[in-house]
Amino acid sequence: MTVVPLVFFSLFASTAGLGDLRKIGILGGRVVIYYLITTAVAITIGVSLANLVKPGVGLKMAASGDVEAILGKVNQVSPSVVRTLIEMVPSNPVKALAEGNMLQIIFFAVLLGIAVLAVQGEKREIVITGAQGLSDAMIHMVNMIMKLAPVGVFALGAGVVAKHGLKVLSNLLVYALVVVAGLALHLTLLLLVSLYGLGKMRPGEFLKKARAVMVFAFSTSSSNATLPLTMETAEKELGVPDYVASFVLPLGATINMDGTALYQGVAAVFIAQAYHIPLTLSAQLKIILTATLASIGTAGVPGVGIVMLTMVLTSVGIPVEGIALILGVDRILDMLRTVVNVSGDLIASVVMSRFEGK
């Protein structure tokens, strides 16, 4: 119920809210490319670790539906990468919204946001304000639904364990450890290395100065709630110029979700393994593409990542009910992946400052 409108309004509002694209210039192009690359690498790390460790192997989950039909759907919705890119363009955007075709929805929302920037005067502001209001309303709706999550997690978890035994818990522990290992690898091998190589700052110095931001991100599980502290730390502790911080960090809180994308990759492969659904290379590439694009529209508030995961699962035909397997440990993983998300934003602001010669 919430996925399609949340993705559409969040993406449209964030794109249209960038301002005049001509004035964003080189800084905007650099940071967007940087964010997309780090997110794609993060999801690749997640998918690779899940394939290597195979946390879902051994579970005997049965999907609600004919297995052959599900496997056929996986093959059907897992075309070549070229075909996937071509089919991102919707012939009918209303049909894409009605059918929940997420790649087409993402494409149309971003394109419409860019088009709105060409509209002059009060009309543009009215449209952007309305889209932001609807985006905020969808986030509040998700928060309302998530208040029922503890009851739902208890019921779903109890049902899964009662039906499939304690074996589920051991697999779930392995899944959680794979996510944590992936987050640690991404933070140390990519983000901190890029900080040192591109931003010319020592990782130890960064971790010391960014400690408060990381603790706050861990406790709130929200990139948006952490944003004021993130901007203050970037400017006062890390020496990032105001104009860089004010552009890079809010944009990062909207489109840079490395930790969330990595978790979605691990979760998708884990659930597919649990349901004995083989994922071809093409299907896994589509997971990487979808999760990268989905991270752009992931609101920086607790619980929304699990909503976006349904989009990734749907893109390759994995049963959405498999989310019941991972809900029990999602909160602690949400806290950890938010730390990676926010750290990635801060590191990007340092790197972009160096590119600006500041």
Q: Would you say residue 2 has pLDDT above 80?
A: no
**Cα separation of the two ends of the chain:** 46
Confidence grade of residue 223 (pLDDT, cut at 50, 70, 90): confident
Give the pLDDT score at 207: 94
The reply to whether 168 falls in a domain is yes
CB 259 within 8 A of CB 302: no
The per-residue pLDDT for 230 is 87
**pLDDT over 50 at 43, yes or no:** yes
In a domain, 110, yes or no: no
pTM beyond 0.75, yes or no: no
Confidence of residue 310 (pLDDT cuts 50, 70, 90): confident
Is the C-alpha dihedral spanning 203, 209, 211, 213 positive or negative? negative
- What pLDDT band is residue 75 in, cutting at 50, 70 and 90? very low
Q: What is the pLDDT of residue 311?
A: 77
Question: What local confidence, expressed as pLDDT, does residue 351 receive?
Answer: 94
**What mean pLDDT is predicted for residues 317-321?**
83
pLDDT above 90: residue 210: yes
Average pLDDT over residues 135-150: 77
Residue 230 C-alpha from the chain's centroid: 19
What percent of the residues of the chain are helix, what percent strand, and what percent coil, each to the nearest 5? 80, 0, 20
The residue-averaged pLDDT of 45-52 equals: 93
Among 96-100, 222-226, 271-275, 296-300, the range with the most confident prediction by mean pLDDT is: 271-275
CATH number at residue 319: 1.10.3860.10
For the chain, the average pLDDT equals 81
Alpha-carbon distance of 117 to 142, in angstroms, equals 28
**pLDDT band at 53; cut points 50, 70, 90:** very high
pLDDT above 90: residue 41: yes
Place of tokens 């363009």: 89
**pLDDT-derived band at 136, boundaries 50, 70, 90:** confident
Q: Which of 185-194, 281-290, 341-350 is predicted with the least confidence, judged by mean pLDDT?
A: 281-290
- How high is the pLDDT of residue 327? 81
CA-to-CA distance for 30 and 104, rounded, in angstroms? 25
The residue-averaged pLDDT of 38-59 equals: 90
* Segment among 53-57, 71-75, 203-207, 299-303 with least mean pLDDT: 71-75
Write the CB contacts of 221 (distance below 8 Å, at least 6 apart in sequence).
302, 331, 334, 335, 338
Assess if residue 165 is contained within a domain.
yes
**Does any domain span residue 136?**
no
CB 13 within 8 A of CB 131: yes
Which range marks the domain in which residue 349 is found?
A: 24-79+149-355
Confidence of residue 5 (pLDDT cuts 50, 70, 90): confident
Lowest mean pLDDT among 49-63, 95-109, 141-155, 252-266: 141-155
| Confidence band for 13, pLDDT divided at 50, 70 and 90 | confident
Q: Is residue 58 part of a domain?
A: yes
Angle between helices 304-315 and 281-296 (to 10 degrees): 150
Q: In the prediction, which pLDDT does 64 show? A: 57
Q: Is residue 102 part of a domain?
A: no
Q: How many independent structural domains does the chain possess?
A: 1
Per cent of the chain over pLDDT 90 is: 25
Check pLDDT > 50 for residue 76. Answer: no
Instruction: Please say if the pLDDT value at position 345 is more than 50.
Output: yes
Q: What is the pLDDT of residues 24-37, one digit of tens each?
A: 567 778 888 899 89
195 domain-assigned: yes
Report the Cα 175 to chain-centroid distance in Å.
18
Q: In this model, does residue 70 exceed pLDDT 50?
A: no
**Whether residue 183 has pLDDT greater than 80:** yes
Residue 132 lies in a domain: no
